[in-house]
Amino acid sequence: MGAGRRRVTFHHVELWVPDLTGALRPWGWLMASLGWTPYQEWPQGRSWRDGGVYLVLEQSPALNGIAHDRTAPGLNHLAFTVAGPAEVDRLTAEAPAHGWSLLFPDRHPYAGGQSSYAAYLEDNWGYEVELQPAPPE
């Protein structure tokens, strides 16, 4: 990194959801399972924090649609690192009870290719997350 340059990271990601109450079930479970801590709460939103980064779910009054399409231009998915393949497996097994569906079950856990062990999960509103083991240190 050159002199005078600082490391740049995400500050936060904000997802607008059509049903905050419904979205809190899958997302609240996931964020707690990943070790993120509750950060902010207001009538139309919630957030969770991990270090200096946070994730927001908001049912904004300015929302102009009711569905998210991960295959349209815009956000496709959020990818999270987890402790290892066993953690991917544990979360994948628990996810359906919390409102997540496994995408690409016929290719799981190698839906991203033979060198990529991961789970791709989707909530009831079409938001996708990828759970990927952290690279070995």
pLDDT digits (tens, 9 = 90+) for 16-64: 999 999 999 999 999 999 999 999 999 999 999 999 999 999 999 999 9
* pTM to 2 decimal places: 0.90
Tell me if 32 sits within 8 A of 25, measured CB to CB: no
Torsion over CA of 56, 57, 62 and 65, rounded to 10 degrees? Answer: 130
Residue with tokens 């990818």: 79
| CA–CA dist 114, 3 (Å, integer) | 40
12-133 maps to CATH 1.10.3720.10: no
Sheet holding 101-102, edge to edge: 77-82, 128-133, 119-122, 101-102
Confidence of residue 2 (pLDDT cuts 50, 70, 90): low
Where along the chain do its domains lie?
12-133
Query: For 96-100, what is the mean pLDDT?
Result: 98
Find the helix or strand (DSSP H, E) in which 108 lies.
Answer: none
